[in-house]
Amino acid sequence: MGIFDAMARDGHEQVAFCREEVSGLRAIIAIHNTTIGPALGGCRMWPYEREEEALRDALRLSRGMTEKNTAAGLNYGGAKCVLWGNPATDKDEALFRALGRFIEGFQGRYRTGTDVGTTGQDFVWMSSETKYVVALPEEYGGSGDTARTTAFGVWKGMKACAREVFGSDSLRGLTVAVQGLGKVGSHVVRHLHEEGARLIASDVDPKRLEAISTEIPLRVVDGEEIYGIDCDIFSPNAMGGVLNDRTIPRLRCRIVAGAANNQLEELRHGDLLHERNVLYAPDFIINAGGVIQAADELEGFNRDRAMRKAAAIYDQLLTVFRISRERNIPAVRAAYVLVEERLRVLGALLKVHVPHR
């Protein structure tokens, strides 16, 4: 499929390929939808094997940001930047300053923050070239790491799922299989441990597993074993596409709820979970805590306000589950009902011309 065909399929507005020779920058910025405001979405750094993979990630993730921002009630559209490189070896000041100059060129049409493979320090470098960055460290005037807020929202979302499936939102005594103990997953397991959940975990990094297991009692399993674990909740907190034809038949849980983006390899996999009586918390709703914090920073950051907005993920998911029951449709399709309705209503409203003052 050609690039324009791929953009047309999912309704993308713009894709920019950014290259700078001295720094070695190779990045793709995909802007999906700016119907209700400028695009907001993080910058991911990953060692893609081929440029087609980088483009596919940018397109999928940017569409997901439109869904996430819209469902969260934010006045921002969706976009994503993918930076092609190894975050362990390829980072330096020149790389992020070069990327910052490209982002400045959008003149506020796109604002970005941290994502997989990037940190607040990277964005300190970037902020030398553009003001359109969020999630800077607190000592640089930003709101700090968004992982804690994302994990808080995921925990609240799990409680909503438990209420829907088990009749109580308590997670005490439930078994949760957590895939990925990175920036967000490590905080998710802390919330679960504090509430008294039984924990099983996997991660690609043995050192990360060892570090967390010395702090929190959990059973460690290998990467493939996690899918077949007998548990109440399966929580994907690593990369996307983990819910697919191969893994879904292996799941032995009642709920899937985690922080990873694009957990469904295809939309039909949400249907498959529904058919198997597994409640799926749509990822773009349950993991919205980070972008909620980032959007609040753009308005003048107030942590209490941001946390209250993230806590509302609980009620948002209950609304999704109600629509799912009433219409007898999978939860992910019920979530799209909310997104499409808000885009439709605000898109019509914003056609009313307001003269510039």
Q: Which residues are catalytic?
A: 80
Dihedral of alpha carbons 257, 41, 17, 91, sign: negative
Strand, coil or helix: 234: strand
Is 65 in contact with 41 (CB distance < 8 Å)? Answer: yes
What b/e string do you get for 58-87 counting C-beta neighbours within 10 Å, with b at 16 or more? Answer: bbbbbbbbbbbbbbbebebbbbbbbbbbeb
Report residue 302 CA to chain centroid gap: 21
Measured from the Cβ of residue 127, the count of other Cβ atoms closer than 10 Å reads 19
- CA–CA distance from 357 to each of 262, 354 (Å)? 41, 9
**CB of 235 within 8 A of CB of 188?**
yes
Cα–Cα distance measured from residue 176 to residue 278, given in angstroms and rounded to the nearest whole number? 14
Q: Which residues pair with 82 in a beta bridge?
A: 28, 44
**Alpha carbon distances (Å) from 112 to 249, 277, 308, 318:** 37, 37, 22, 29
Which run of H or E residues covers position 16?
strand 14-20
CA nearest 347: which of 100, 101, 55, 36?
A: 36
Cα 284 from Cα 272, distance rounded (Å): 18
